[in-house]
Chains A and B, each alone.
Chain A
Amino acid sequence: AQSVAQPEDQVNVAEGNPLTVKCTYSVSGNPYLFWYVQYPNRGLQFLLKYITGDNLVKGSYGFEAEFNKSQTSFHLKKPSALVSDSALYFCAVRAPYNNNDMRFGAGTRLTVKP
């Protein structure tokens, strides 16, 4: 089955600095990749997705992600972090043969300090 790994439980950055949240994936076939964000006591919110096309995907709130097929990675990035970006971020991969089978990573808690 497909899977994703988020190697960092926690990422700390200072406000105004660039941020990166890492994700690597494993899937047979072409990957369908997603990033979701979860604020305290809320459900997950969609940020962006990669299905096909340009390797750099732009999403909500100024976030972007770079798809790298050779490194099987899909890292989330933002040029200038805001305190309000502090949340739990999940990477996910969908099976190419079953569009109802989404596998999520364990999550990375991002803390942006003023």
Chain B
Amino acid sequence: NAGVTQTPKFRVLKTGQSMTLLCAQDMNHEYMYWYRQDPGMGLRLIHYSVGEGTTAKGEVPDGYNVSRLKKQNFLLGLESAAPSQTSVYFCASRDQWVGNQETQYFGPGTRLLVL
């Protein structure tokens, strides 16, 4: 049981390049999330999904797109990277059942540097 995994672990992009971050979970969770972590600001929610085929905007969605084609995977896309998107990106998932649904399980993070 690997929990939540993220690919890649680290990436350097040039301004204007595109890339996709992959999050995978093997806990059969319905809900998945993408956060960014910046110094002094904690984590901020980018997008989330409440189930396969669904996505919704979070607190800071601009410049990002997401897709949830399979229940276990949640992809975060940057169409045209900007230096302001330099950050550490975390994926998380949680269960939908009452009593278990409040705890989010986080991946190890992807460190992205945009030059």
Contact = CB atoms under 8 A, between A and B. Distances in A.
Interface of A: 1, 9, 32, 34, 36, 41-46, 49, 51, 90, 94, 99-107
B53 to A, nearest CB: 16
A45 B106 contact: yes
B102 A105 contact: no
A44 B90 contact: yes
Given A42-B108, A104-B42, A34 B48 contact: no
Interface of B: 4, 31, 33, 40-45, 48, 50, 56, 58-59, 90, 92, 101-109
Given A32-B102, A45-B106, A105 B42 contact: yes
A43 B102 contact: no
Contact of B56 (A44, A100, A103): A100
Contacts of B4: 43
Nearest to B41: A106
A13 to B, nearest CB: 22
Given A43-B92, A44-B43, A100-B58, 11 more contacts: A41-B108, A43-B108, A46-B105, A49-B103, A90-B42, A90-B43, A100-B31, A100-B50, A101-B58, A104-B44, A105-B42
Nearest to A1: B59
A46 B101 contact: no
B43 A46 contact: no
B42 A99 contact: no
A106 B101 contact: no
A90 B43 CA distance: 9
Contacts of A43: 4, 90, 92, 106-109
A101 B43 CA distance: 12
B23 to A, nearest CB: 11
A49 B90 contact: no
Contacts of B105: 46
A102 B44 CA distance: 8
